[in-house]
Structure 1
Amino acid sequence: MKTKVFFLNQKLQSVIVLCLFAVFNLQAQVSGNQVYRNGNYSGDQGTFPVNNVVSVNDNMLSVTVKILMNKKADGFVITLGLNEEDETVSGCNKKINTRISGLLDKLKMLGIKKEVVYVDFISQTKIYDYTVAELNAQQIDKGFEIKKNVIITTSNVENLEKIIAFASDYEIHDVIKVEYYNENSNTIHDALFDDALLLAEAKKAKYIKSFGKRILGTPNATEEFAVVFPKTQYKSYQAFESAEMESNSASRSQYLKKIARKNKTYYYDGVSSAGFDKVVNSNQTEVGIQYIMTLKVSYKIDTSI
């Protein structure tokens, strides 16, 4: 592991301290109920990334560039689950297929054709019950259960709520997952890579001009390209304050303590834009896909100058 050490003059250190104080003070004013979230969350982004830097080690100049892109999804894949029970397998199939067919007919109102819908057969199992006579309980066959998933693709984000509403008309209430996708991920990669090259070249040129150095040979480079989907970026918290209850009785066995239900809030917390050299679509409010390009370029310096 490489350790990078940076020396700052006293004036610059004072400026940084003042800036950080202003940032933390602002966060304290507008943080909202998310402050109730568990501070031990493994994906906490409270620390700023500091690896978009220029560093010098012996005769090598290392330049790191980080770019973040917020991109709206081109399409969505929603998976709905349903099940049906009956005394016979054919009865199960008839019931569940009737519900699915009804949903598919409703989806035509949204312009969603059968070609973009896939029905996935999940399982067929026997179900059992018990008959109780006096002190005896005997297990008996009750019938069968069939489970299927309906997988629907749409390019319109507004269709998602309508699909869920239509599904509820046929007692399909299990929204298993919603996947996001972009059709041009290779194009996105190439664009971010080109931007990173330009920024790396600008950082290198500024260093060379400032310190009167010269580069030898050709540079070495490593690239990391990450795609962050919304399903990994949701967090939760419970915002409430509890009262204390004490009893002076030596025995508390006669007391029943009932805990009130506390609502749990979920919210989207995407990758923070702090610490990046460039953020594309920084003001995007719609939840989408995030792309991170990290480019590290190393140059050999002529130490004879």
Structure 2
Amino acid sequence: MKKLIFAFTALCSSLLSSAQISGNINYEETVHYPEQTISVGATADRNLYINIKGMLNVKPDVLIATFSVTQTGKSAQEAHELMDKRIKTATAAMQALKGAQIYVDMISCVPLYQTQVEQKIFSKKTYNEVPAGFELKKNIQIRLTDPALMDELMAIAAEQEIYDLVKVDYTVLRMEELKKELMAKAQKLVLEKIKFQETLLGSSLTGTDRTYNDGFKVFLPTEMYKRYTAYRNNSITGGVNTNRFNAADKNTSLFYQPVMDKEFDFIINPGILEPSVQILYQVQLTILRDKEKDKKPNKEYILVSPDGQFKTLPLQP
């Protein structure tokens, strides 16, 4: 009996652990997974089409982080003085980071207004907007070559009450070289598929006319983050008066969702751990088969004269 209970417990633990491997993302109702079947249909012509899709994952060479800084003051001069003090202190510490380059971008300086009530003896109240101060906005742009320094960068900014990390741009300096690497790999696979086609067809494709189309697409980590909320609905709320029910705030999070590598003929640098720049390449080769071979040979009638000369007789269609 103990062995039976132990086996049942182990089975349940195994099932639970296997389910958790998929992660909490499967609780999100908006997650849809694509059809996993392969559809291969016959072409309407005798041409041969060879498609090769490849992807290359690469770590970015440069990161540019943009922080937004806001400062208010009773006057424009006061706002500028307070802003400059915060930015100079922050940038001085940021410049100590290895390879950091900094640029401060002026965004806006606009007046702030508040409402003032004017009460007149023989009329109703009048509400007037009057200047109450100034709001100054600037952006700090920091160029880094080491992504590991982002934590230190955030800590330095937070010391000066700079919390708004607007975005992080990713740059690959050797993009042309990487695209050539993708094209060379795709070319090799195209030639292999041509040999495969020749084996299946039992005939050579040498000398056939060919056309091709190709194209690239690049995905940056900034545009590949998805939002999800991990929670289960409370079944008790079905019979509860909604006016007396206070729902808890659900934590919304983000996760990095790269282009999945399940539909590519080849992957260069697969399974990279950190968010990366993904370069996609596709080439389609069209081999134009000779249609003249499919036509039936035309019949000819040749007249041989008594003196041994040959004459082709025209045939009526």
Corresponding letter in the other structure for 2:46: N
The correspondence for 2:196, drawn from 201, 206, 213, is: 206
Deviation string for 1:204-243 (max 9, x for gaps)? Answer: 1111122212324342110010001112211122121222
Aligned partners of 1:265 and 1:223: how far apart in 2? 37
CA distance in 2, matches of 1:246, 1:290: 46
* Map of 1:185 onto structure 2: 175
Aligned-pair distance for 1:246? 5.6
Q: Distance in 2 between matches of 1:57 and 1:201?
A: 24
The answer as to whether partners of 2:27 and 2:230 remain within 8 angstroms in 1 is yes
Measure how far apart 1:48 and its partner are.
5.3
Q: Closer, same or farther in 2 for the Cα pair 1:144/1:119, shift >3 Å?
A: same
- The answer as to whether partners of 1:54 and 1:62 remain within 8 angstroms in 2 is no
Which amino acid letter does the alignment assign opposite residue 143 of structure 2?
Answer: T
Displacement of 1:301 after TM fit?
2.5
Provide the C-alpha distance between the structure 2 equivalents of 1:185 and 1:261, rounded to a whole number of angstroms.
Answer: 44
Unaligned runs of 5+ in 2: 1-17, 120-124, 295-317
Contact 1:87/1:142 (8 A) holds in 2: yes
- Within 5 Å, which residues of 2 pair with 1:186-265? 186-215=176-205, 216-243=207-234, 244-245=236-237, 255-265=243-253
Matched, 1:156 2:177: no
Contact 2:65 2:169 in 1 (8 A): yes
Q: Cα deviation per residue 1:2-29 (whole Å; 9 max; x = unaligned)?
A: xxxxxxxxxxxxxxxxxxxxxxxxx967
Taking structure 2 as the reference length, what is the TM-score of the superposition?
Answer: 0.77
Distance, in Å, in 2 between the alignment partners of 1:49 and 1:98 is 61
Give the SS at the match of 1:225: strand
- Pairing partner for 1:282 from 257, 270, 283: 270
- Of 64, 73, 77 in structure 2, the residue corresponding to residue 90 of structure 1 is 77
Q: Which residue of 1 aligns with 2:301?
A: none
Distance in 1, matches of 2:46 and 2:233, equals 60
Deviation at 1:54, TM superposition (A): 10
> Does the alignment pair 1:106 with 2:93?
yes
Among residues 87, 92, 111, which one is paired with 1:126 in the alignment?
111
CA distance in 2, matches of 1:233, 1:66: 20
Specify every segment of 5 or more residues in structure 1 that has no aligned partner in the other structure, as ranges.
1-26
Corresponding position of 1:30: 21
- Over 3 Å counting, the alpha-carbon distance change for 1:185 and 1:49 in structure 2 is farther
Q: How many residues are paired up?
A: 270
- CA RMSD of superposed structures (Å): 2.8
How far is 1:117 from its partner? 1.3
The TM-score with structure 1 as length reference comes to: 0.80
For 2:238 and 2:52, the matched residues in 1 are separated by 58
Aligned to 1:18: none
**Which of the residues 246, 249, 268 maps onto 2:256?**
268
Question: What corresponds to 2:156 in structure 1?
Answer: 166
Q: Which has the larger radius of gyration?
A: 2
String of CA shifts for 1:104-126, please: whole Å, max 9, x gaps: 1101321345xx21111111101
C-alpha separation between the residues in 2 aligned to 1:138 and 1:186? Answer: 60
Q: Decide whether aligned partners of structure 1 residues 246 and 34 sit closer, same or farther in structure 2, where only a CA change above 3 A counts.
A: closer
Q: 1:32 to 1:247 in 2, by over 3 A?
A: closer
Of 185-194 and 124-133, more deviation after overlay is shown by 124-133
Counterpart of 1:125 in structure 2: which amino acid? V
Shift of 1:30: 2.9
Whether the 8 Å CA contact 1:214–1:302 is kept in 2: the answer is no
- With over 3 angstroms needed to count, the CA separation of the structure-2 counterparts of 1:297 and 1:70, relative to structure 1, is same
Given that residues 66 and 166 in structure 2 are in contact (C-alpha distance below 8 angstroms), is that contact kept between their aligned partners in structure 1? yes
- Give the letter for the 1:199 counterpart: L
Give the Cα–Cα distance (whole angstroms) in 1 for the partners of residues 91 and 151 of structure 2: 15
Measured after TM superposition, the shift of residue 59 of structure 1 is: 2.6
Q: Percent same amino acid at aligned positions? A: 23
